[in-house]
Amino acid sequence: MSGFFTDTTNLIFSSDQAITGSADSTNVIDCQSAPTLRDLGIRPMAVEFVITESFNTLTSLDFFVRSDSTTNLDTSETTHVSFNVVLASLTAGARFVRQLPTGQTYERYLGIEYVVNGTVPTTGKITAVLVPHGAPSTQYFNDGISIA
């Protein structure tokens, strides 16, 4: 994904994840075992969101980057980043990058909550990855695509 990592297995929140209602990211990052915020703390980190399939029917989508002491982000989670994107901007190829605030305490697990506003969509997918802030933009491809 990014030239800064040789293994991004532990840095992916959502990989072409279908959002058909409010949901958490498929994956959470364990900040105590993954070489992420702990080891790369000298460089600001960000979450890069890429819309891999256009959304329909909803009014907007809220994004929350949260940390918590549990993997389901349900105990007393802390919200570090939140923003809203309207339907007209949720088109395939759209990118949104949000820097994680520095100087904050992050709990052990880091994940994303997607909240649908309006009608539940029947189409719409997202890829979300933890990256160093300011890293060169990356290109994402769906699984199984041949690149010539």
CATH top-level class for 9-132? mainly beta
**Burial (CB count <10 Å: 0-12, 13-18, 19+), residue 111:** buried
Query: What 3-state DSSP class applies to 89?
Result: helix
pTM for this predicted structure: 0.81
What is residue 58's predicted lDDT score, i.e. its pLDDT?
Answer: 96
What the block records as the tokens of 6 is 């040789």
Show Cβ contacts of residue 109 under 8 Å, excluding neighbours closer than 6 positions. Answer: 28, 29, 30, 31, 67, 68, 69, 70, 71, 73
Could you tell me the residue ranges of all domains in the chain? 9-132
Rg of the chain taking only CA atoms, in angstroms: 15
What is residue 2's predicted lDDT score, i.e. its pLDDT?
Answer: 34
Report pLDDT digits (tens) over 52-111: 999 999 999 999 999 998 888 888 888 999 999 999 999 999 999 999 988 788 888 999
Residues 54 and 1: their CA atoms lie apart, in Å, by 21
What the block records as the tokens of 111 is 């994940």
